[in-house]
Amino acid sequence: MMAVMAMAAGAQPVAGANQPVSSDQVLAVAKKVNKYFMNKYADPTTPTNVNRIRPSNLWTRAVYYEGLMALHELAPDPGYIDYTDRWANFHQWTPRNGVKTTDADDQCCGQTYLDRYMATKDSRMMEHVRENLDLQMGTGKLGYWTWIDAIQMAMPVYSKMYRATGERKYLDHAMKMYTWSRDTCGGGLFNVAEGLWWRDADYVPPYKESDGNNCYWSRGSGWVYAALVRVMGDIGKKDKYFKRLKKDFVAMSEALLLCQREDGLWNPSLVSPVTYGGKELTGTALFLYGMSWGINNGILKAKKYKGACDRAWQAMVRDCVHPDGFLGFVQGTGKDPSAGQPLSYTKVPDFEDYGTGCFLLGAVEYCKLLK
């Protein structure tokens, strides 16, 4: 793998974007991007309407709230909590499609419910999530996470439940499910030799692009990278599982560093730019999130990784962030590098919410790095 560069039309220079930035400047951009989203979607209870009506606690919106909770932790704002609690109260602090769901996408909203429980100790914020996880664990089945996005959607729900209750069973089960996805599903979705993930069981590894290179989807690997960060953050360095997760995190970090484009972004297809090269924000933001967290927590060396973080941030501000806070080059929903193509500075993706969430996660952790 090697760093590649693919210029795309629509880049909008931002004054000072290629100069060193301060944490205050990063925070200001994060707040601007979030303000755009909250103004556009002022009523958090309104269902989404992309081809069909979906409740607003679906996974795309749940990822947004992950980012909002991170922003609130860094820069507390009662408006963020009001917006979150109106959304969660409307959905009765329940997974999408009810407590009997076993779909990780439905469970993702539980991450924010549990964050709010930890802040308030209000049991109604976590009781339905707990019931849902208990029911899923009771099936005895491990093979639920057949697509790697699911690891981010659901694994942190389990680690947060462990953190909230102190009951080890939640973390133990999450690790068993993660190990099944990593080593067994489709022959094992993690390519240990290359440090990157095959997207799901529909692709029997090794899945290749038309140019013969392996197909590793940027946002897919980004979801796993974020999940590792979130779970390691929940359990702490002394936990017996931390070392196992850290090993995968470091392997991914080394691989992702080699895939970064010269302009600071990552391609949708990580090692096959001939097929789906070009600027893309969501994977980039998730990699910025993970690398910044790794440096902040003493796992990754700043000398090796901070430059990549600086370039990623500068590139997102320069090429993706509009003056009003809209985000360009956000790849639409899908399951591989071809989804939502072609991308551009002005194209509105099918869902805007998860792109904002990914951006906020990356921005907040990078802000901490600069501090």
d(CA 299, CA 301): 7
For residue 22, what are its two tokens? 């301060």
Band (pLDDT 50/70/90 cuts) for residue 140 is very high
Hey, which residues does 50 pair with through a beta bridge?
52
Q: Give the tens place of pLDDT for each residue, 273-314.
A: 988 999 999 999 999 999 999 999 999 999 999 999 999 999
**What is the mean predicted confidence (pLDDT) over 309-324?**
98
Percent of the chain with pLDDT over 70: 95
Arithmetic mean of pLDDT over the chain: 94
Band (pLDDT 50/70/90 cuts) for residue 165 is very high
Q: Look at residue 18 in the predicted model and tell me its pLDDT.
A: 55
Q: Look at residue 202 in the predicted model and tell me its pLDDT.
A: 86
For residue 103, what are its two tokens? 């779909």
d(CA 259, CA 331): 18
d(CA 29, CA 346): 18
Q: How many CA atoms lie within 13 A of 301 on its CB side?
A: 3
d(CA 212, CA 140): 39
Q: Residue 13 pLDDT more than 80?
A: no
Q: Look at residue 204 in the predicted model and tell me its pLDDT.
A: 72
| H or E segment to which residue 73 belongs | helix 59-74
Q: Look at residue 355 in the predicted model and tell me its pLDDT.
A: 98
| H or E segment to which residue 197 belongs | strand 196-197
Q: Give the tens place of pLDDT for each residue, 263-273.
A: 999 999 999 99
**Residue written as token pair 């707990």:** 130
Weakest-pLDDT range from 10-19, 104-113, 175-184: 10-19
d(CA 13, CA 27): 19
Q: Residue 14 pLDDT more than 60?
A: no
- Coil, helix or strand for 179? helix
Q: Residues with Cβ < 8 Å from 262, sequence gap 6 or more? A: 3, 4, 5
